[in-house]
Structures are given as structure tokens and as C-alpha cells.
Structure 1
């Protein structure tokens, strides 16, 4: 009888440890998966940009600076190593794309172009997907970070290498409405 009691006393904490560890692994993998989803929609955006730039550049030759900045930011995003760096580059691309769309509205021929309208629609849909993917990623990061900070899981999280994940955030400067000078 004593042997069973000892086994139960040892098994319960061990089972709890296994359960908590597996839960933290699951949450960490969800964070990684959701970040991957963010990158998929951002890649889609970056695949659309060269077509949009080519379409607009014929009409807006004096906007070469904006178009070259888009290309530079696309490269900067591709070489970024952290969520923070990728978020920063992505936010700057969003601002430039907004400015480019406003500039493009001033060219009636471009505005009537089927190719431009299609690209604009695709880009708008992609931006909506990006917003959703970012929100879902941040929700997952919040759940993971809460789990590794909550007692008693925090006692094992650090020992097994679980570290707080970064949120995908927008800088205050990126929240401002872009100013368009023609």
C-alpha cells in the first residue's frame, strides 16, 4: 500500500510537469506557425509590389523616389533577422504603399487602367490579410507569454528554455496619416 502512495506522490508532479511542458511546446509552436502565416501574406505583398511599381512608374516618373524606397524596404525586410526588424520594415512599406495609392489617384489614365485596378484590389485584399495575420500572431504571442509567466508554469518555463516572444507592433510614427506632396 505504501508503494502505491509513493508512486502516486511521485507520478502526480511528474504528470503535471509533462502536461505543462507539452502545453508550452504547443503554444510556442503556435507562435512560430502564426509568424509563418504573417510572412506568407507579407511575401504575397512583396510579390505584388514589383508589378504595381512597374504599372505606376510609367505614369508617375517623378515619383521614382517613392518607388525606389519600396524596393529598398522590400530588400530590408528580406534581410531582417528579428520580428521587430521585420515589423519595422513592413510598417514602412505600408506607409509608402498608402502614399503611392494616393499619388496614383492623380493620374486619370492610370486610375482607369485595368491592370492598375486589379493590382490595387489585390494589394487591398493582401493588406487586410496582413492585418488579420498580425492580430492573430499577437493573440498567440499573448497566450504564450501569459503561459510562461503564470505561476506555477513559470517555474519550469525558464529551465526548459521558453522565452518571451516579441509582439508585432506598429511604431507611433507609422500610425500618422501620410502626407502627400505633389
Structure 2
């Protein structure tokens, strides 16, 4: 009879250990899935940034033909575009992308002063394309932030926090706009 209780105790302890190991594996795999979702979301943002990046030279050239003396604004847009391309970290890329959005607002403000430019079909086509890209980019940012929020929440809550710490999972940056002026949409409607 004493031996029966011993076997029951060993069975219960073994079952608890198996449950803990299975939970541990599932929690670790969930962290990996969430990390991969964040990377996928950031890659989606990159796709739309690349589309916008490719539109900018055409936009600058179109504006240049009508507003040659607005060289400073055109140079700022080009410099901001290059900063995004040369970003080495996620945080730096997100910050430079915000700067580029601000310079695009300046470019469209310049275009307001040139009625012939606003009537140019090439400019209007570029404007519409940029508007579509900006909408897609906003949706991609929302998706990225949702994935980051879920990951960071799991990272900071108990007991998954223990696994995150053991495997050096770190908090991921949210896509945030640093100041109120940059929170405004790039105006592409004239």
C-alpha cells in the first residue's frame, strides 16, 4: 500500500513536470511566432516605404520644373529620402521616415503656390499614387504596432516574462510619431 502512494506521487510529479515543459515549449514558440510577425509587419512597412521612396524623385523633378527657386525644400526632401535609405536600425529608420513625411508636407505646401503645377497631369498622378501609398503605409504601421503591442505585453507579464528573460527577448519599438506637427497627414489633395 505504501508503494502505491509512492507511484501515485511519482506519477503526479512527472505529470506536473511534463505540463511545465510543454507550457515552456509552447510559450517559447509563441514568442518566436510573435517576433516573426513583427519582422513581417516591418517588412511590409518597408515595401510601402520603398514605393514612396521611388515616387519621390519623380515628384521632386516635377516640382522642380515649376518651382526652380524652391531649391531648399527640394534638397530637404532628397536628403530626408537618403536618410531613410541609409538607416541602420529599426528605431533610426522609423525616425528618418517621420522626417521624410514632414519634408513631403513642405513640398506639397510649396506646390500650393503654383497653380500650373497643381493642374499638371503627371503631378496629379504622382499625387494620387502617393496618397494610396500613404494609406497603405498607415495600415501597415497599425499592423506593426498591434504585433509589437502583443509581443511587449507577453514579454512583460508573468509567467512568460521568465521565458523572455531566459532567451533574451527584448522589448520592440512601437512606430510612434514624435511630435504633434508630424502626426498630421501628408496633404496630397489640392
Distance across 2 between alignment mates of 1:176 and 1:139: 18
Report the Cα offset of residue 124 of structure 1: 1.1
Is 1:125 aligned with 2:132? yes
Is 1:152 aligned with 2:156? no
Distance across 1 between alignment mates of 2:48 and 2:158: 36
Report the Cα offset of residue 161 of structure 1: 1.8
Q: How many residues align?
A: 178
Higher alpha-carbon deviation: 125-134 or 45-54 = 125-134
Distance across 2 between alignment mates of 1:10 and 1:91: 49
Task: Specify the alignment match of 1:35 in structure 2.
Answer: 42
Task: Specify the alignment match of 2:73 in structure 1.
Answer: 66
Is 1:141 aligned with 2:117? no
1:164 is paired with a residue of what secondary structure? coil
Within a 5 Å distance, the mapping from 1:86-101 to structure 2 comes to: 86-101=93-108
Task: Specify the alignment match of 1:161 in structure 2.
Answer: 168
Higher alpha-carbon deviation: 130-139 or 53-62 = 130-139
Report the Cα offset of residue 142 of structure 1: 0.6
Larger radius of gyration between Structure 1 and Structure 2: 2
Runs of 4 or more consecutive aligned structure 1 residues displaced over 4 Å after TM superposition: none
Is 1:85 aligned with 2:85? no
Structure 1 gaps of 5+ residues are 178-182
Tell which has more relative contact order, 1 or 2 (C-alpha 8 A, sep 6+). 1
Distance across 1 between alignment mates of 2:16 and 2:178: 51
Distance across 2 between alignment mates of 1:72 and 1:36: 23
2:166 is paired with a residue of what secondary structure? coil
Kindly indicate whether the alpha-carbon contact (under 8 Å) linking 1:24 and 1:144 is maintained by their aligned counterparts in 2.
yes
Report the Cα offset of residue 102 of structure 1: 2.1
Task: Specify the alignment match of 1:5 in structure 2.
Answer: 12
Higher alpha-carbon deviation: 125-134 or 19-28 = 125-134
Distance across 1 between alignment mates of 2:15 and 2:55: 60
Distance across 1 between alignment mates of 2:64 and 2:106: 14
1:36 is paired with a residue of what secondary structure? helix
Report the Cα offset of residue 175 of structure 1: 3.1
CA RMSD of aligned residues (A): 1.7
Report the Cα offset of residue 173 of structure 1: 5.9
Higher alpha-carbon deviation: 4-13 or 69-78 = 4-13
Structure 2 gaps of 5+ residues are 1-6, 185-190
1:58 is paired with a residue of what secondary structure? helix
Is 1:172 aligned with 2:179? yes
1:158 is paired with a residue of what secondary structure? helix
Distance across 1 between alignment mates of 2:16 and 2:146: 36
